[in-house]
Amino acid sequence: MSLSGRIAMSVLLIFTGIGHFVFTKGMTMMMPPFLPLKREIVLFTGVIEILAAITLLIPKWQRLTSILLIIFFIVLLPANIYAALNHVNLQTASFDGQGPSSLWLRVPLQLLFIAWVWYFGYSKKK
C-alpha cells in the first residue's frame, strides 16, 4: 500500500513537473512581481518535482524526499493563492482564469497532497 501511494504521488509529480516546461509562461505569471528570475524558478521547480518523483520511489530516500516535498508544497501555496486572486490561467498565459473561486479546491487539494506524502512517504516506510 505504501508503494502504491508513493507511485501515485510520483505520477502526479511527473505530470506537474512536465507542466513547468510546457506552460512556463503561464507559471511565471503565477509568481508575485517582486520575485526575480521567474522563468528560471519555474524551470528549476519543474526539475525538482521530477527528481522528487524519482527519489520518492527509492526506499533510502523516501523519508527525506517526503519532508522536502511537504516543505515544497507549503512554499508553493502562496503562488497558487496569488494566481487565483489575479485570475491567472497558466495554460493560456492570460488573466482570464477562474480566480478566487478556485481556491476552494486548490487549498484543500494542497493539504491532501501534504497528508498523502506524509502518510505514504514518511510514516509508512517499507
Domain definitions of the chain by residue range: 2-123
107 CB-side CA count, 13 A: 10
pTM of the model: 0.89
pLDDT more than 70, % of the chain: 98
Compute the CA torsion angle 68, 64, 46, 53 (nearest 10 deg): -130
On whether the CB atoms of residues 80 and 108 are closer than 8 A, the answer is no
Instruction: Reduce the DSSP state of residue 94 to 3 states and report it.
Output: strand
List pLDDT tens digits, range 24-45: 999 999 998 999 999 999 999 9
List pLDDT tens digits, range 73-92: 999 999 888 988 999 988 88
Measured CA to CA, the distance from residue 72 to residue 75 in angstroms comes to 5
